[in-house]
Amino acid sequence: MSLPTDRLTHPAVRALVTALNANDEQAFFAALTPDATMSDDGSDRDLRQWTDREVFGSRGHLAVRSQSDDGLSLVADYRNDTWGEMRTRWEFTVTDGKVSRFETGQA
């Protein structure tokens, strides 16, 4: 059973996940700091290229299974049209109320 997005503890993480699941690219980037960075499976990636391919170009969706670390760590089933569904972990760093970095990978 997934956790409803509105029950995510951290407001910055909740805003980012809500935008991702709505396929709302504008709201997604508004939830990030201008210099935000990310990594996938331990390798830094270009944030715009990665989200174009893995999220917005392939209808990405996060079904959150659990949260910890005051809502800054998630375990979720992530699916998109390219890879199907897989269990993933997400770690977020928040600066001034926005996500400044996220790290994701298979759980």
Report pLDDT digits (tens) over 19-49: 999 999 999 999 999 999 999 999 999 999 9
Token couple for 41: 């499976």
- 5-106: CATH topology is Nuclear Transport Factor 2; Chain: A, (3.10.450)
Residue at 36: amino acid letter = A
Tell me the pTM: 0.95
Report pLDDT digits (tens) over 59-82: 999 999 999 999 999 999 999 999
Return the beta strands (E) in 10-97 as ranges: 32-40, 43-45, 61-68, 73-80, 84-95
